[in-house]
Amino acid sequence: MTTISYDDFLKVDIRIGTVVECALFPEARKPAYKLVIDFGPEIGLKKSSAQITQHYTPETLIGRQVLGVVNFPPRQIGPFMSEVLTLGFADDQGFVVLAASDQVVPNGVRLF
């Protein structure tokens, strides 16, 4: 494990947002969705590619709050530009389980 300072941690801008759109991403190498996430008035709507098809359907994702890193540079994934990294944990089979708040909070609130 690498040790970082608190100042290093503060450089990673992790915010909560609500999934407002979700579509299959058939061009992705691994099964994935294309998400549009509302991170509130300061950040706005951002797109993300997420390999979360094993545990979630588009219907269960719409309206769900998720955590994302909003200050990484955009990343081209096939024909899709992913603007944020949606966060999750691998389960015992390696499938992603989303990181989330246990209560609803305003979109755009920063993790600290």
List the domain range (segments joined by +) for residue 68.
Answer: 12-98
pLDDT band at 102 (very low <50, low <70, confident <90, very high): very high
Residues composing the chain = 112
Give the angle 87-2-4 at the CA atoms, nearest 5°.
80
7 within domain boundaries: no
Is the pTM higher than 0.85? The answer reads yes
Q: Give the residue-averaged pLDDT of 82-95.
A: 98
pLDDT at 112 over 90: no
Q: Could you tell me the CATH number of the domain that includes residue 90? A: 2.40.50.140
* Per-residue model confidence as pLDDT tens digits over 45-83: 999 999 999 999 999 999 999 999 999 999 999 999 999
